Amino acid sequence: MINYNEIKQALQDRKQTVEDHINYHFKEEQNRTLSFSTGELSQYDNHPADAATDLYEREKDFALLEQAERELEEIKHALAKFEEGTFGICEVTGQTIPYERLEANPAARTVVEAVDNRITDERPSEEAVLGGFRKYQFDGDDDGTEFDAEDAYQSVAEFNELPMVFEDSSLEETGELIGYVEQIEGFLSTGIEGYTGDEDVVFQRNVHYDQYLNGK
């Protein structure tokens, strides 16, 4: 029969350490208000960022408390198995848990092979709207007239005023040019006052103009 006295003593020592840690660090914290913890009589004149930092630290303490309480429950469960005479037996397979594993993790419930290592395939719901740039374009639809993400970029690129840089240099010649009601709107422009006469209309020698001439 395997002698588990050293492991039992290690569990008892760890149990005392965790209990002392909980009582010393967290016993009174649960009943204290945020104002008491921060030493502030009122939160009214505090910057929201300062209040957020204090709240974060308080929530972190509660998370550490929860972790410590969970560890304590596991230790108590392991010690109870000594009284039942089932310590060292895998709760899933009924096999004997290797002594080396119990030395590393005295509260282990199963052999390594029986540990549940399943990883969920569920993804955060936020990822549904974070599909990247190409998710919001309609280049594959020849009949599409939606003003998509690429159209938005093209509209901004038209205002490039850097010297010695062609105004449409950021546009790919193979890119879609959908986004205008009429094709000529892609290369005709007026001043800031808008249309004031035919003489004020300017032809922009850009990608739109080239494709218009080529009949694309």
Residue with more model confidence, 208 or 112: 112
Evaluate whether residue 149 is within a structural domain: yes
Residue with more model confidence, 165 or 56: 56
pLDDT bucket at 169, cuts 50 / 70 / 90: very low
Q: Residue 67: give the domain boundaries.
A: 5-114
Residues 23 and 92 in one domain: yes
Evaluate whether residue 103 is within a structural domain: yes
Residues 110 and 146 in one domain: no
Residues 141 and 209 in one domain: yes
- The interaxial angle of helices 48-84 and 5-25, nearest 10 deg, is 150
Check residue 62 and give its pLDDT. 84
Q: Rounded to two decimals, what is the model's pTM?
A: 0.49
DSSP class per residue in 114-152: GS---------GGGGG---GGGG--TT-TT-----HHHH
Residues 73 and 25 in one domain: yes
The CATH number assigned to the domain holding 21 equals: 1.20.120.910
Average pLDDT for 95-106? 93
The number of folded domains in the chain is 2
Check residue 7 and give its pLDDT. 93
pLDDT bucket at 171, cuts 50 / 70 / 90: very low
